[in-house]
Amino acid sequence: MKSAQTRELIRGIALRSFREQGFEATTMRTIATQAGVSLGNAYYYFPTKNHLVQELYLEVQQAHRAAAAPLLATSDDLATRLGIVFRAGLEQLAPFRDYASGFLTAMVDPNSPLNPTSPESEPARSITVGLFRDALTGARQTLPKDLGARMPHALWLAYLLLCLYWSYDRSPEQRNTTRLLEQGLRLFTAALPLLRVPGVRAPVRKLLDLVAEVGA
Protein backbone atom coordinates (compact mmCIF):
# COMPACT_ATOMS: atom_id res chain seq x y z
CA MET A 1 0.00 0.00 0.00
CA LYS A 2 1.26 3.44 -0.90
CA SER A 3 2.24 5.93 1.77
CA ALA A 4 -0.57 8.39 1.02
CA GLN A 5 -3.12 5.57 1.09
CA THR A 6 -1.90 4.31 4.47
CA ARG A 7 -2.07 7.83 5.89
CA GLU A 8 -5.62 8.26 4.58
CA LEU A 9 -6.65 4.85 5.94
CA ILE A 10 -5.38 5.71 9.45
CA ARG A 11 -6.96 9.15 9.28
CA GLY A 12 -10.35 7.79 8.20
CA ILE A 13 -10.41 5.15 10.92
CA ALA A 14 -9.42 7.67 13.59
CA LEU A 15 -12.08 10.18 12.54
CA ARG A 16 -14.80 7.55 12.52
CA SER A 17 -13.64 6.31 15.92
CA PHE A 18 -13.78 9.83 17.42
CA ARG A 19 -17.40 10.05 16.22
CA GLU A 20 -18.44 6.58 17.32
CA GLN A 21 -16.31 5.95 20.42
CA GLY A 22 -15.43 9.44 21.66
CA PHE A 23 -12.15 11.11 22.53
CA GLU A 24 -10.97 8.95 25.43
CA ALA A 25 -11.71 5.50 23.94
CA THR A 26 -9.90 6.37 20.70
CA THR A 27 -6.20 5.62 21.17
CA MET A 28 -3.27 5.29 18.79
CA ARG A 29 -3.27 1.59 19.64
CA THR A 30 -6.94 0.96 18.76
CA ILE A 31 -6.52 2.99 15.56
CA ALA A 32 -3.42 1.02 14.49
CA THR A 33 -5.14 -2.30 15.21
CA GLN A 34 -8.23 -1.39 13.19
CA ALA A 35 -6.07 -0.09 10.32
CA GLY A 36 -4.01 -3.31 10.37
CA VAL A 37 -0.73 -1.43 10.72
CA SER A 38 1.89 -1.50 13.46
CA LEU A 39 1.74 1.08 16.25
CA GLY A 40 5.10 2.43 15.05
CA ASN A 41 3.71 2.84 11.55
CA ALA A 42 0.69 4.78 12.86
CA TYR A 43 3.01 7.10 14.82
CA TYR A 44 5.06 7.62 11.66
CA TYR A 45 2.08 9.30 9.98
CA PHE A 46 0.62 10.98 13.06
CA PRO A 47 3.20 11.66 15.83
CA THR A 48 0.48 12.03 18.49
CA LYS A 49 -3.25 11.47 18.90
CA ASN A 50 -3.53 15.27 19.00
CA HIS A 51 -2.49 15.38 15.34
CA LEU A 52 -5.51 13.21 14.53
CA VAL A 53 -7.80 15.45 16.58
CA GLN A 54 -6.58 18.37 14.45
CA GLU A 55 -7.59 16.34 11.37
CA LEU A 56 -11.02 15.97 12.97
CA TYR A 57 -11.25 19.72 13.64
CA LEU A 58 -10.39 20.37 10.01
CA GLU A 59 -12.96 17.90 8.71
CA VAL A 60 -15.68 19.32 10.96
CA GLN A 61 -14.94 22.91 9.93
CA GLN A 62 -14.75 22.00 6.24
CA ALA A 63 -18.19 20.39 6.62
CA HIS A 64 -19.32 23.54 8.46
CA ARG A 65 -18.23 25.67 5.50
CA ALA A 66 -19.74 23.28 2.94
CA ALA A 67 -23.09 23.38 4.79
CA ALA A 68 -23.15 27.16 5.26
CA ALA A 69 -21.83 28.39 1.90
CA PRO A 70 -24.86 27.56 -0.31
CA LEU A 71 -27.27 28.96 2.29
CA LEU A 72 -25.29 32.21 2.53
CA ALA A 73 -26.00 32.74 -1.17
CA THR A 74 -29.74 32.98 -0.39
CA SER A 75 -29.85 36.10 1.83
CA ASP A 76 -28.18 39.47 2.31
CA ASP A 77 -29.71 40.08 5.76
CA LEU A 78 -27.02 40.20 8.46
CA ALA A 79 -28.89 38.37 11.24
CA THR A 80 -30.07 35.70 8.77
CA ARG A 81 -26.51 35.21 7.51
CA LEU A 82 -25.04 34.98 11.02
CA GLY A 83 -27.79 32.52 11.98
CA ILE A 84 -26.86 30.35 8.99
CA VAL A 85 -23.22 30.15 10.09
CA PHE A 86 -24.01 29.51 13.77
CA ARG A 87 -26.65 26.87 12.98
CA ALA A 88 -24.54 25.05 10.39
CA GLY A 89 -21.75 24.92 12.98
CA LEU A 90 -24.00 23.46 15.66
CA GLU A 91 -25.28 20.84 13.21
CA GLN A 92 -21.76 19.48 12.76
CA LEU A 93 -21.52 18.87 16.49
CA ALA A 94 -24.62 16.67 16.74
CA PRO A 95 -22.78 13.33 16.20
CA PHE A 96 -20.46 14.17 19.11
CA ARG A 97 -23.20 14.90 21.62
CA ASP A 98 -22.66 11.72 23.69
CA TYR A 99 -18.95 12.41 23.94
CA ALA A 100 -19.05 16.17 24.46
CA SER A 101 -17.68 16.04 28.01
CA GLY A 102 -14.61 13.99 27.02
CA PHE A 103 -13.72 16.37 24.19
CA LEU A 104 -14.49 19.40 26.36
CA THR A 105 -12.16 18.18 29.12
CA ALA A 106 -9.37 17.63 26.60
CA MET A 107 -9.93 21.00 24.91
CA VAL A 108 -10.31 23.42 27.82
CA ASP A 109 -6.71 23.48 29.11
CA PRO A 110 -5.33 26.81 27.87
CA ASN A 111 -1.94 25.18 27.17
CA SER A 112 -3.25 22.18 25.24
CA PRO A 113 -2.64 21.95 21.48
CA LEU A 114 -6.28 20.77 21.33
CA ASN A 115 -7.53 24.07 22.69
CA PRO A 116 -9.44 25.85 19.89
CA THR A 117 -7.36 28.98 20.63
CA SER A 118 -4.00 27.18 20.25
CA PRO A 119 -1.53 27.79 17.39
CA GLU A 120 -2.04 24.13 16.39
CA SER A 121 -5.78 24.74 15.89
CA GLU A 122 -5.20 27.72 13.60
CA PRO A 123 -6.06 25.93 10.31
CA ALA A 124 -9.51 24.86 11.59
CA ARG A 125 -10.04 28.20 13.36
CA SER A 126 -9.30 30.21 10.23
CA ILE A 127 -12.07 28.38 8.35
CA THR A 128 -14.64 29.36 10.99
CA VAL A 129 -13.40 32.94 11.34
CA GLY A 130 -13.48 33.17 7.53
CA LEU A 131 -17.10 31.98 7.47
CA PHE A 132 -18.12 34.73 9.90
CA ARG A 133 -16.19 37.25 7.78
CA ASP A 134 -18.13 36.10 4.69
CA ALA A 135 -21.40 36.40 6.60
CA LEU A 136 -20.56 40.02 7.50
CA THR A 137 -19.18 41.22 4.19
CA GLY A 138 -22.07 39.82 2.15
CA ALA A 139 -24.74 41.56 4.24
CA ARG A 140 -26.54 44.74 3.22
CA GLN A 141 -26.24 46.10 6.79
CA THR A 142 -22.72 47.32 7.47
CA LEU A 143 -20.80 47.81 10.70
CA PRO A 144 -18.50 50.73 11.50
CA LYS A 145 -15.16 49.84 9.86
CA ASP A 146 -13.18 49.48 13.11
CA LEU A 147 -15.76 47.12 14.57
CA GLY A 148 -16.25 45.19 11.33
CA ALA A 149 -12.56 44.28 11.24
CA ARG A 150 -12.68 42.89 14.78
CA MET A 151 -16.06 41.18 14.55
CA PRO A 152 -15.26 37.86 12.78
CA HIS A 153 -12.88 36.82 15.55
CA ALA A 154 -15.38 37.90 18.25
CA LEU A 155 -18.16 35.95 16.50
CA TRP A 156 -15.93 32.86 16.40
CA LEU A 157 -15.52 33.20 20.19
CA ALA A 158 -19.27 33.65 20.57
CA TYR A 159 -19.66 30.42 18.57
CA LEU A 160 -17.27 28.64 21.00
CA LEU A 161 -19.37 29.89 23.92
CA LEU A 162 -22.52 28.67 22.18
CA CYS A 163 -20.84 25.25 21.77
CA LEU A 164 -20.01 25.34 25.48
CA TYR A 165 -23.67 26.08 26.28
CA TRP A 166 -24.70 23.26 23.91
CA SER A 167 -22.52 20.78 25.79
CA TYR A 168 -24.37 21.72 29.02
CA ASP A 169 -27.80 21.80 27.36
CA ARG A 170 -30.06 19.00 28.64
CA SER A 171 -33.21 20.11 26.83
CA PRO A 172 -34.65 17.72 24.17
CA GLU A 173 -32.52 17.92 21.00
CA GLN A 174 -30.67 20.82 22.66
CA ARG A 175 -33.49 23.16 21.66
CA ASN A 176 -32.46 25.70 24.30
CA THR A 177 -29.20 26.26 22.41
CA THR A 178 -31.17 27.14 19.27
CA ARG A 179 -33.41 29.45 21.30
CA LEU A 180 -30.42 31.15 22.91
CA LEU A 181 -28.99 31.73 19.45
CA GLU A 182 -32.27 33.20 18.18
CA GLN A 183 -32.62 35.61 21.11
CA GLY A 184 -28.94 36.55 20.85
CA LEU A 185 -29.37 37.39 17.16
CA ARG A 186 -32.48 39.45 17.92
CA LEU A 187 -30.51 41.50 20.45
CA PHE A 188 -27.56 41.84 18.09
CA THR A 189 -29.92 43.23 15.44
CA ALA A 190 -31.50 45.62 17.95
CA ALA A 191 -28.04 46.79 19.08
CA LEU A 192 -26.66 47.33 15.55
CA PRO A 193 -27.65 51.03 15.19
CA LEU A 194 -26.16 51.75 18.64
CA LEU A 195 -22.73 50.64 17.46
CA ARG A 196 -22.47 54.02 15.70
CA VAL A 197 -22.99 55.95 18.95
CA PRO A 198 -19.51 57.05 20.14
CA GLY A 199 -20.26 56.25 23.82
CA VAL A 200 -21.08 52.68 22.79
CA ARG A 201 -18.69 52.22 19.89
CA ALA A 202 -15.52 52.98 21.92
CA PRO A 203 -16.13 50.48 24.76
CA VAL A 204 -17.31 47.86 22.24
CA ARG A 205 -14.08 48.34 20.27
CA LYS A 206 -11.98 47.96 23.43
CA LEU A 207 -14.01 44.91 24.43
CA LEU A 208 -13.46 43.30 21.02
CA ASP A 209 -9.72 44.01 21.27
CA LEU A 210 -9.52 42.34 24.66
CA VAL A 211 -11.59 39.42 23.48
CA ALA A 212 -9.32 39.05 20.46
CA GLU A 213 -6.38 38.39 22.81
CA VAL A 214 -7.79 34.88 23.15
CA GLY A 215 -6.62 32.86 20.19
CA ALA A 216 -5.06 35.81 18.37
The residues that touch its own copies, with contacts defined as CB under 8 A, are 100-101, 104-105, 108-111, 117, 161, 165, 167-171, 176, 179-180, 183-184, 186-187, 190, 199-200, 203-204, 206-207, 210-211, 213-214
Smaller CB separation from its own copies, 59 or 122: 122
HEC string for 66-114 = HHHHHHHCCCCCHHHHHHHHHHHHHHHHHHHHHHHHHHHHHHHCCCCCC
Smaller CB separation from its own copies, 41 or 171: 171
Minimum Å distance from CB 186 to its own copies?
4
Minimum Å distance from CB 198 to its own copies?
11
SS3 content of the chain, % helix, strand, coil (to 5): 80, 0, 20
Smaller CB separation from its own copies, 38 or 183: 183
Smaller CB separation from its own copies, 66 or 200: 200
Minimum Å distance from CB 115 to its own copies?
9
Smaller CB separation from its own copies, 46 or 169: 169
Minimum Å distance from CB 76 to its own copies?
23
Minimum Å distance from CB 25 to its own copies?
16
Instruction: Give, in order, the Cα–Cα distances in Å from 137 to each of 88, 105, 125, 161.
Output: 18, 35, 18, 23
Smaller CB separation from its own copies, 68 or 100: 100
With beta carbons less than 8 A apart as the criterion, state whether 45 and 7 touch: yes
User: Which is nearest to 127 in space by CA: 180, 49, 189, 67?
Assistant: 67
Burial class (CB in 10 A: 0-12, 13-18, 19+), 109: exposed
Minimum Å distance from CB 148 to its own copies?
18
With beta carbons less than 8 A apart as the criterion, state whether 26 and 14 touch: yes
